[in-house]
Amino acid sequence: MKDRSLQLKVVKADGTIEEYLHTKVLGTIANAFAGTGQDTTFVAEQLADAITFYLYGTHQADGQVSTSEIYFMIQAMLTATGHDEASLVLNNYHFTRALTRKRTEVVDSFLGENQQSWNKSQITFALVRQGIEMSSARTIAGMVEEKVLRMALNRVPKRLIAELVEVEKHNILQACSQLDAAQEMNTTPDKDVQGGQEEAKGFLAKAS
């Protein structure tokens, strides 16, 4: 389906770069369909394959694609194939998430001292400075953000964020260690790991 000699890179909103993961596109489309109550796994796989094929074909020269282009490509594909409801679900999800992020502030305590806007990238970069690989750092930051936004708190104390980071860091590093051990022993714990150890590490939790 795609040229394996070229690994497409994704330019994130904060300017950092990571490898393109077909599984993220598939997951996004599948979640959009799930929001409509439809069981369309096969259709989601077909659309994800088409998008990945298109992106690799149009970015052979630079080898890079932005997250916004991927998002708009998914939206366009859903609309063009008559899945307007799924496209609306995806759009509403991104709008609501962006609004929740904007309303969430990081403070020293619940009293609200030293307010700062929520920024998941700050967690990512802090973890990288600790020696955590970028892919794992992004996964940890994404999992922390998911928990924070679900709390629906306008003010989130730094101490609470730090505790969440430590918990998720332990979980992710332990999972990565288990994957490495399985690979060294030439075992295949499940079909997904057999199909791609590197993608499993980078996608231990669903992102964004």
Cα(134)–Cα(129) distance, rounded to whole angstroms?
10
17-61, pLDDT tens digit by residue? 888 999 999 999 999 999 998 778 899 999 999 999 999 999 988
pLDDT of residue 207 exceeding 50: no
Q: How much is the pLDDT for 165? A: 95
| pLDDT given for residue 60 in this prediction | 83
Name the β-bridge partners of 176: none
Q: How do the domains of the chain map onto residue ranges?
A: 1-103, 105-208
pLDDT the model gives residue 18? 86
Q: Tell whether the model's pLDDT for residue 205 goes beyond 70.
A: no
Q: Whole-model pTM above 0.85?
A: no
Mean pLDDT of the chain: 83
Structure tokens given for 32: 């959009």
Per-residue confidence band for 113, with pLDDT thresholds at 50, 70 and 90: confident
**What would the pLDDT profile of 150-202 be if each residue is shown by its tens digit?**
898 889 999 999 999 999 998 888 887 777 777 777 655 554 444 444 444 44
Mean pLDDT is lowest, of 3-7, 59-63, 99-103, for 3-7
Judged against a pLDDT cut of 70, whether residue 206 lies above it is answered with: no
What are φ and ψ of residue 178, in 5° steps? -65, -40
- Where b means 16+ CB within 10 Å and e means fewer, 132-159 reads bebbbbbbbbbbbbbebbeeeeebbbee
Which pair of tokens denotes residue 117? 């806007």
